[in-house]
């Protein structure tokens, strides 16, 4: 239902670089939740004040959430920047540490992620349909020269 919330999109793409960013709908939804939370706080009832504070906090989280991934073949790096509540976290991962770009079916959803040779996976996005994730994965695969894996089988079907 809320697939678009926190979705990653291709911001710029060239033959040697692809830049991914969160959609603007995430920030707009966050500011709308802030407004709703502010309204609930002014209602004056105790339950509305608590609910308004929670909704306002979730809104601030979404409004300040930023995520940027840059796959750059010329530099040989994946640069990752994430902002939550205005706090920035950055990482630079050499492309040769990455193994594959995977789109897999999990619990009724499709999940796109980048497998690393060492360490955990790098989550890209989730969606109910595989087409947007495949487009994203193909762009990354071409630029970073990674293997593209599409696993449409569910774990239950694979175990039979």
Residue 157 predicted with pLDDT over 60: no
Q: pLDDT tens-digit profile of 8-25? A: 888 999 989 999 998 888
pLDDT band, residue 158 (cuts 50/70/90): very low
Which residues partner with 138 through β-bridges? none
Contact 146, 114 (CB under 8 A): yes
Q: For all residues of the chain together, what is the average pLDDT?
A: 87
SS3 25: helix
Residue 1 has pLDDT above 60, yes or no: no
Is the pLDDT score of 45 beyond 50?
yes
Do the Cβ atoms of 55 and 80 come closer than 8 Å?
A: no
What pLDDT score does 108 carry? 81
The mean pLDDT of 37-60, rounded to a whole number, is 91
| pLDDT, tens digit, 9 for 90 and up, residues 72-128 | 999 999 999 998 888 899 999 999 999 999 999 888 889 999 999 988 899 888 888
Of 99, 21, 130, 105, residue with least CA distance to 65: 21
Predicted pLDDT at 5? 64
Exposed, middle or buried: residue 95 (CB in 10 Å: 0-12, 13-18, 19+)?
middle
b/e map 39-71, b = 16+ CB within 10 Å: ebbeeeeeebeebbeebbebbbebbebebbbbb
Give yes or no for a contact between 95 and 80, defined as CB atoms under 8 angstroms apart: no
Among candidates 82, 39, 32, which has minimal Cα distance to 58? Answer: 32
Q: What percent of the chain has pLDDT over 70?
A: 92
The CATH number of the structural domain formed by 8-152 is 2.30.29
For residue 31, pLDDT beyond 50: yes
Backbone torsion region of residue 106, taken as left when φ is above 0, otherwise alpha when ψ lies between -120 and 50, otherwise beta: beta
Q: Given pLDDT bands bounded at 50, 70 and 90, which one contains residue 53?
A: very high
Close Cβ partners of 142 (under 8 Å, ≥ 6 residues apart):
none
CA distance 38 to 40: 5
Q: Is this prediction's pTM over 0.85? A: no
């Amino acid at each position: 239902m809320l697939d678009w919330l926190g979705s990653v999109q291709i911001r710029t793409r060239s033959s040697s670089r692809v830049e991914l960013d969160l959609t603007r709908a995430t920030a707009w939804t966050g500011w709308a939740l802030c407004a709703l939370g502010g309204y609930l706080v002014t209602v004056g009832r105790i339950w509305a004040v608590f609910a308004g504070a929670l909704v306002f906090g979730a809104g601030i989280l979404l409004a300040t959430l930023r995520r940027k991934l840059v796959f750059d073949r010329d530099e040989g790096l994946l640069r990752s920047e994430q902002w939550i509540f205005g706090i920035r976290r950055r990482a630079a991962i050499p492309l040769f540490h990455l193994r594959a770009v995977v789109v897999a079916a999990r619990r009724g959803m499709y999940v796109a992620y980048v497998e690393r040779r060492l360490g955990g996976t790098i989550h890209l996005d989730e969606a109910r349909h595989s087409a947007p994730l495949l487009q994203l994965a193909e762009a990354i695969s071409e630029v970073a020269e990674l293997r593209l894996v599409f696993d449409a089988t569910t774990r239950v079907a694979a175990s039979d």
